[in-house]
Structure formats: structure tokens, C-alpha cells
Amino acid sequence: MTTPATRTVTIGGDLAVGPIGYGAMQLTGPKVWGPYPDHDHGIALLRSAVDLGVTFVDTADVYGPHSNEELIREALHPYPRDLVIATKGGFVRGGPEYTDLGAVGNRNYLRQAAYLSARRLGLDHLDLYYLHTPTMTDAPFEEMIATLAQLRQDGLIRHIGLSNVSGDQLRTALAITEIAAVTVHYNIAERGGAAVGQIARSTGIVFSPWHPGVIPRDENARAVIDPIAAEHHATARQIALAWQLHRGEHTLPIPGTTSIEHLEDNIAAGRIALSPTEVAAITALAAEEV
């Protein structure tokens, strides 16, 4: 039986990556503020991810801020030819206690943010650049998308992505320019990004859920998931990741971890082949369309 691990996910028609990426956000200080306390372990974990076959790493300028991008460069530069690093810009924080100051989306700020991310990562261009959580911004959404389209025309951005957007925002962006990928909070327990996922699947956009391996705590959900996990000699979290991969060929989950053991488990989830009946049973937990 074919498993998700044998396939590739193509971003924007020309960037082929493996089916499970790595979300680097946890490699920061407490509350995603400041550098990761165990610097050497952070370096080792990033290198282990690449050694295990990860070819997609997700970061953002607000992680740290800045220290996450810098750690990735220190650990992995010069980058393997098949490694794609996606980063994000436009979302700001004023300190560890300020978790949602919203976005700064004016043209000058976004241009500076993208150029500085490229500098910190040691890149002359960004393969995938996400507009990060465009809420409470100082510029219209359409204007922000136009800015990214101009940066792509300038050669700084290869492909444009959207992070934490609604279905309506995705449709609006698609009317302006090509969108290669979207990333939203989506897992078995949290289906708020389902509408975005459905649009992505219908248009061939890469759908990259974050916190993808979270499982519901209620007994009814575990009564479905736990027997499937036992059947595949896997953990419930691995089944949650495998379910994500079975939702569509353009799905690219980005689980994050600071544990090399958990990293290995996440990669192993790609080798789990769920049956259509098992996928449908998990999907039905939230009465979502199969």
C-alpha cells in the first residue's frame, strides 16, 4: 500500500518537498520571546531534521523575534539544495506579554521585513514568504497582497503564502495574484481552518496546518482514534498526523517539537497508510465533509 512518505508536495509548481515539514517556532524563548535557551540542542535538532529527510522548514520574523531565523541560518547554512525555508512577515509583538498586537502591513514595512528576513537567513531570495496573520493592520488587505506581488516581481520572493487567513481573504488574494501556500491552525480537534483547506484542495494550493498533531480529549474521539493507533502500532498523535496527510496530496503539515525523539515519531507518521474507512471515521468526528 502506498504511504504519504513516498510522495512529494509541490509548492507553486516548481518546489518539491517532502510530505512532513518542521515548524521551528518552539526553538525560541518562553512565550516565543528571545533566543532558544539550549542553543546547542536547537542546532542539533535542526540538523537532525534535515538528516531525517525534512526538506521544508517553517519560521517567521516574529519568532524571537528574529532569533529563530538566525538559529536556522547558523544550523543549516549553506543550505542543502533541496531544502525550502518558508518565513513570514507583517505580524508584530511588543514583548513576551503582548501576544496579539496585530499586523503592520504598509508597503514600506512589509518590504523591509522581507528583505531583513532574507538577510538573517543568508538568502538572496525567499522561496516562500507568508503574510503573517493580517489582522488589525494599518493597510487594506488588498494593498498588502499587492506589495507581496511586487516583491515577487522584484525577485525577492519566489512564491507568496498566506498565514492565518479566512476563506474570504484567500479568495480575495487569489483574485489579485497567485498564492502558492496557506498555513492555518487545523487538526482533529480544531477545524477552524477547514474552509481554507477546502479552497486550497480545490485550487492546488499547498495547505500547511500548524499544530497538526493535536488530538481531542473527549472519550468519543479517543474511542475512534485509539483503536486505529493500536492497529498501526502507532501513537494517537502519529495517527493525527497521518490523517492530515491523507486529506489531500497538497497537504504539508508542519509539526514542531524540541525533542529529537518526537521529531523521529513525526517523520515516521508519514509511513502510516490509513484505510479510507479510517480516514472517514476520523474526519467524521467533527462532521466535516469527507
Q: What is the pLDDT of residue 290?
A: 41
What spatial distance separates the first Cα and last Cα of the chain, rounded to whole Å?
A: 21
Q: Which residue has the cell 517523520?
A: 267
Query: Is the separation of the CB atoms in 110 and 144 below 8 Å?
Result: yes
Predicted pLDDT of residue 100: 64
- 79: how many CB neighbours lie within 10 A of its CB? 17
Distance CA 69, CA 11 (A): 21
User: Rounded CA gap, 87 and 279, in Å?
Assistant: 31
User: Among all chains, which residue has been given the C-alpha cell 486550497?
Assistant: 200
Q: H/E element holding 172?
A: helix 167-174
CB atoms within 10 A of CB 10: 16
* DSSP 8-state code for residue 124: S
C-beta separation of 273 from 3 below 8 A: yes
Cell of 21: 515539514
Alpha helices for the chain (secondary structure H): 39-51, 67-76, 107-121, 141-154, 167-174, 194-203, 219-231, 236-245, 260-269, 276-283
Specify whether the CB–CB gap between 8 and 19 falls below 8 A: yes
Domains of the chain: 7-286 (3.20.20.100)
Angstrom distance (rounded) from CA 242 to CA 122 = 33
Beta strands in 26-156 (DSSP E): 56-58, 84-89, 126-132
DSSP 79: P
Closest CA to 118 of 161, 143, 86, 93: 86
pTM: 0.96
Task: Judge whether 173 and 199 are in contact, CB under 8 Å.
Answer: no
One digit per residue, pLDDT tens: the chain, 290 residues?
Answer: 568 878 899 999 999 999 999 999 999 999 999 999 999 999 999 999 999 999 999 999 999 999 999 999 999 999 999 999 999 999 998 888 866 667 899 999 999 999 999 999 999 999 999 999 998 889 999 999 999 999 999 999 999 999 999 999 999 999 999 999 999 999 999 998 999 999 999 999 999 999 999 999 899 999 999 999 999 999 999 999 999 999 999 999 999 999 999 999 999 999 999 999 999 999 999 755 44
Coil vs helix vs strand at 212? coil
What is the maximum span of the chain, computed from C-alpha positions, in angstroms?
A: 54
Q: Of 159, 145, 196, 167, give the one whose Cα is nearest residue 17.
A: 159
Q: Which pLDDT does position 95 carry in this prediction?
A: 85
Q: Which DSSP letter does residue 4 get? A: G
Rounded Cα distance, 152 and 196, in Å: 23
The pLDDT of residue 137 is 87
Is residue 143 within 8 Å of residue 105, measured between CB atoms?
Answer: yes
Q: Which sequence positions are flagged as catalytic?
A: 63
